[in-house]
Amino acid sequence: MENTEQNKTDKHLPWPMLILSGLGGLLIAVLVSVFGLLVADNHNGRISIAITSILFIIGAIATTQKDNDIIAMLFGLPLYITGFVLGFVAFKSESIAMIVEFIVAIIAFALCKSQTCRKCLLFYILWLPLQIGWSFTNFHHDSLFSSVWSYIIVLIYIAIFGGTINKKRIEHLEVDNYLPVVRFTTALVIGVALCYMSFFQGVTQFAFFYAIAFIFASASFAIAYHLLSKHISGAKLAKSCLLALLCCAATTVYPAMAPAFLGMMLSFMILDYKCLTIFAAAFVASISKFYYDLDILLIHKSYLLMGAGALFLLIFFCIKLLTKNEQN
């Protein structure tokens, strides 16, 4: 019995070894992809590249029929990456290539048995809709369509992330064991997307951006009120709600702050520290971009910072007042 349990645990590596194996697999994927492109280019061009891509994907699915991290990182992951890279090159249109890869990734996710590779495939599946939308504007991230698409996808993913919190609503789906994976992967995609959007999408459509930020901030306040109402009531609840309202209002200073703050609230609600770290990093990235954003006038930025500073100063004095009353 002990040997059986040990064999099961031996299939999964600790996270330092998993990262090291993943880097090795990534290096193998780069070398194999370059070799595959060179060989295919000498024959029938895109047709041979497409066939090679299909063979690599089939090989990846075949090698990941067992949940073994070593096989997944050193064989499965390189084959998946190489197959998707070659598949992307095989199409002339970037949009069509990404749509096809989205469908193929879903099929591979359904057939793959390795949990590690499934996490990677899930990340790719969730990331591709953003890329597909951006490809229709030739990756001109300053366009209104690109901005609207980005925040709609982030809104949908945060809704998915929030949906994994309440297990009672999804008990009939029988996915309890996979909820942490979905939650972590969704948080990772949102965090990466917000960092990417903060640094590559300029804030030119102020009305739209701040309307979206208001929606996220309102959701954050609703969660804060829900958490506060469980523990306090009366005058303390009213004062605490005022503080929460001021904090949520401060996140609308820069649009990317609001969804990151909402993710932090959801993660804190279930004490998921991994996801909380991801959203906190995205929040810091959005603040950094706001500080160095040249698309915002300096006087406008100064007013926003002054307003945010006044809000947090008021919050500080309110907290001091509440703690003083609590001690008395």
- pLDDT score of 38: 67
- Report mean pLDDT in 10-residue bins for the chain, 328 residues: 43 65 71 68 67 85 83 82 82 82 90 85 88 77 73 87 70 57 86 78 61 85 83 76 81 81 87 87 82 69 74 71 59
The predicted structure's pLDDT at residue 140: 65
Q: Over the stretch 16-63, which tens digit does the pLDDT of each residue have?
A: 666 666 677 777 777 777 776 666 655 556 777 788 788 888 888 888
Inter-helix orientation angle 15-41/77-90, to 10° = 40
pLDDT of residue 200: 67
Could you count the other beta carbons within 10 Å of the beta carbon of residue 153? 20
Structure tokens at 319: 């907290």
pLDDT of residue 249: 81
| H, E, C per residue of the chain | CHHHHHHHHHCCCCHHHHHHHHHHHHHHHHHHHHHHHHHHHCCCCHHHHHHHHHHHHHHHHHHCCCCCHHHHHHHHHHHHHHHHHHHHHHCCCHHHHHHHHHHHHHHHHHHCCCHHHHHHHHHHHHHHHHHHHHHCCCCCCCCHHHHHHHHHHHHHHHHHHHHCCCHHHHHHHCCHHHHHHHHHHHHHHHHHHHHHHHHHCCCCCHHHHHHHHHHHHHHHHHHHHHHHHHHCCHHHHHHHHHHHHHHHHHHHHCCCHHHHHHHHHHHHHCCCHHHHHHHHHHHHHHHHHHHHCCCCCHHHHHHHHHHHHHHHHHHHHHHHHHHHHHHC
> Which own/partner contact pairs does 94-99 have at CB distance under 8 Å and 24+ positions apart?
94/135, 95/132, 95/135, 95/136, 98/128, 98/131, 98/132, 98/135, 99/132
CA atoms within 13 A on the CB side of 132: 15
CB atoms within 10 A of CB 16: 8
- The reported pTM is 0.74
